[in-house]
Amino acid sequence: MLRQFKLPDVGEGLTEGEILQWLVAVGDTVTVNQPLCEVETAKAAVELPSPYAGTVTALLHEAGDTVDVGTPIITIDTGGQGAPEPEGDGAAAGAEQVEAGLIGGAAPGGRTAVLVGYGPRNTEARRRPRRAVPTAPAPSAGADYGSGGSDRPPLLATAPDMTAKPVRHGGLEVGRQAEAHAVSGDAASSRAAEAGRRRPRPLAKPPVRKLARDLGVDLTVLTGSGDGGVITRADVQGAAAGTASTPDPRPALTAVAGAPGEQRIPVKGVRKHTAAAMVASAFTAPHVTEFLTVDVTRMMKLRSRLAARPELAGVRVSPLLFVAKALLLAVGRHPMVNSSWDEAAQEIVVHGQVNLGIAAATPRGLVVPNVPDAGRLSLAELAGALTELTETARAGRTTPERLTGGTITITNVGVFGVDTGTPILNPGESAILAFGAVRDMPWVRKGKVKPRQVTQLALSFDHRIIDGELGSRFLADVGALLSDPGTALAF
Tens of pLDDT, residues 246-268: 344 444 444 445 567 787 777 77
Confidence class of residue 243 from pLDDT cuts 50, 70 and 90?
very low
Q: How many CB atoms lie within 10 A of CB 374?
A: 24
Question: Global pTM?
Answer: 0.53
Q: Give the closest residue to 65 by CA, choosing from 196, 157, 189.
A: 157
Q: Is 463 a residue of the active site?
A: yes
Contact 327, 478 (CB under 8 A): yes
Please state the domain extents for the chain.
Answer: 2-110, 160-255, 270-490
Confidence class of residue 11 from pLDDT cuts 50, 70 and 90?
low
Q: Which CATH number fits domain 270-490: 3.30.559.10, 3.40.50.920, 2.70.98.10, 3.40.50.1220?
A: 3.30.559.10
Q: Place domain 160-255 in its CATH homologous superfamily.
A: E3-binding domain (4.10.320.10)
pLDDT for the residue numbered 258 = 54
pLDDT for the residue numbered 471 = 96
CATH number given to 2-110: 2.40.50.100
Tens of pLDDT, residues 146-192: 333 444 444 433 333 334 444 444 433 444 443 434 334 444 444 44
Nearest 10 degrees: CA dihedral of 335, 337, 343, 346? Answer: 50
pLDDT for the residue numbered 263 = 78
CATH topology match: 2-110 vs 270-490:
no
Q: Residue 473 above 70 pLDDT? A: yes
Cα 487–chain centre separation: 37
Q: Out of 233-242, 255-264, 459-468, pick the least confident.
A: 255-264
Point out the catalytic residue in the list 61, 181, 351, 463. 463
Contact 108, 84 (CB under 8 A): no
The more confident residue out of 348 and 393 is 348
Confidence class of residue 236 from pLDDT cuts 50, 70 and 90?
confident
Q: Out of 9-18, 81-90, 463-472, pick the least confident.
A: 81-90
pLDDT for the residue numbered 4 = 92
